[in-house]
Structure 1
């Protein structure tokens, strides 16, 4: 039985990955800031033996290491690491303050970097594994008010290809999934703070995205399941875009 370790998993696409992994019979470790949310997912799943939730502060390196250790303690191994969690501050290059810059880099880049450090050691010992980085359509140049976010996602792509190049000899594959504009709880909350309703958001997206609509949290799931399955055994160093044609 595979063990999937998720950075994130309580909301949006991360939660959909968790549900799809359970349907495949996989064990899933997931994390978040809210213990109540994590416990609710476990209790409603009817798969308590296959789930482990870890309360985490993604700005804490010790917390990242504890998450790794507890996952190994619970499931003995990690076959798949999915680096999904991230934050999307709204600030242009000329408006970004130091606190915003530090926070987005700590959560979006430093946290996955140091979790990956531990998981790779485990995968080397077991002679294989799959790492999936979640990117963004902003990675190429991004919107004007997403500068720091775009920079973290571009850097994660470099890290993804680095792992693919240097760790293939251990049977470890690494791939990068570019996700487009998605109708998640976080996106809705961000837009509501800007005074934009869900209908207005969808209408705006339909005018911008070539395929005519925003992604749903379910849209990236088939691609995710391919990358974490044995069907992708010889797929590494790749980039797949699930964006509806945005930023191409």
Structure 2
């Protein structure tokens, strides 16, 4: 089950974090994975890890916020069966202390970046008989999180774009879903704690972990397994949905 044999997948932001875990999981499922990332070293490191495990992967260096870079990169790949939009940036701040520059930065990567990838891949998928698209949204799209104004804006847009694409291309055999993780233990979390809470990293990590009713953060690998299912042929009847993977955060945090 869940084999991606003979399928080509592009995973953005696959140089680290959730994107990297998705790339490794897809490779284990026999896909040829294109590791799309802005950071050349990170992309190549993920490719090496996949190849050392016996998988097939290629680095695809591009800035998702620049449309022509994305179009050129996707044309280089050719036929794309699966697209995972995982590239993204975070931001801490409220509406009154988020600068215009920071707001635009989050928008360019998290919203325009997803649009650019959708814009580039959909014509190819249409001409090749369909495909599967998975967008990384967030619980921030549907619940109020403190100090996450710009980030919540961006993930709400990702959620809405998912529904729109699923509706518009259902007759082209293109499925589009999203997932909404709660906190995931990625290198970003460790960097955030080191920067903002020096000397209190472990204390703050435990505090953030307890915000999920299940009592811990998710691992990137746990997220990647849901992504694999939704992009596999076993999920061929699923489109236009968002799936929380949140340790009970949305429904049980009251």
Task: Report TM bin, short chain.
Answer: over 0.9
Aligned: 1:235 with 2:238:
yes
Shift in Å at residue 202 of structure 1? 2.9
Shift in Å at residue 198 of structure 1? 4.1
Corresponding position of 1:114:
116
CA distance in structure 1 between the aligned counterparts of 2:75 and 2:49, rounded to whole angstroms? 25
Say how many residue pairs are matched: 244
Q: Is the 8 A contact 1:202 1:214 kept in 2?
A: no
Please give the TM-score of this superposition, normalised by the length of structure 2. 0.91
CA distance in structure 2 between the aligned counterparts of 1:228 and 1:156, rounded to whole angstroms? 17
Listed as ranges, the matches of 1:22-61 within 5 Å are 22-46=27-51, 50-61=56-67
CA distance in structure 1 between the aligned counterparts of 2:156 and 2:163, rounded to whole angstroms? 11
Corresponding position of 1:18:
23
The unaligned stretches of length 5 or more in structure 2 are: 1-5
What do you get for the CA RMSD once the two structures are aligned?
Answer: 1.6
Q: Is the 8 A contact 1:161 1:174 kept in 2?
A: yes
Aligned: 1:2 with 2:7:
yes
Aligned: 1:244 with 2:247:
yes
CA distance in structure 1 between the aligned counterparts of 2:221 and 2:37, rounded to whole angstroms? 20
Q: Comparing 2-11 with 199-208, which one deviates more in the overlay?
A: 199-208
Listed as ranges, the matches of 1:195-234 within 5 Å are 195=197, 197-234=200-237
CA distance in structure 2 between the aligned counterparts of 1:45 and 1:54, rounded to whole angstroms? 14
Q: Is the 8 A contact 1:20 1:221 kept in 2?
A: yes
Mark the CA change 1:126 to 1:186 in structure 2 (over 3 Å): closer, same or farther.
same
Q: Is the 8 A contact 2:90 2:151 kept in 1?
A: yes
Q: Comparing 34-43 with 175-184, which one deviates more in the overlay?
A: 34-43
Listed as ranges, the matches of 1:148-163 within 5 Å are 148-163=150-165
CA distance in structure 2 between the aligned counterparts of 1:233 and 1:210, rounded to whole angstroms? 31
Tell me the SS of whatever aligns to 1:67. helix
The unaligned stretches of length 5 or more in structure 1 are: none
Tell me the SS of whatever aligns to 2:35. strand
CA distance in structure 1 between the aligned counterparts of 2:55 and 2:188, rounded to whole angstroms? 29
Please give the TM-score of this superposition, normalised by the length of structure 1. 0.93
CA distance in structure 2 between the aligned counterparts of 1:210 and 1:245, rounded to whole angstroms? 6
Q: Deviations over 1:171-229 (max 9, x none)?
A: 11111101110110012112221115442233102432111111111121221111111
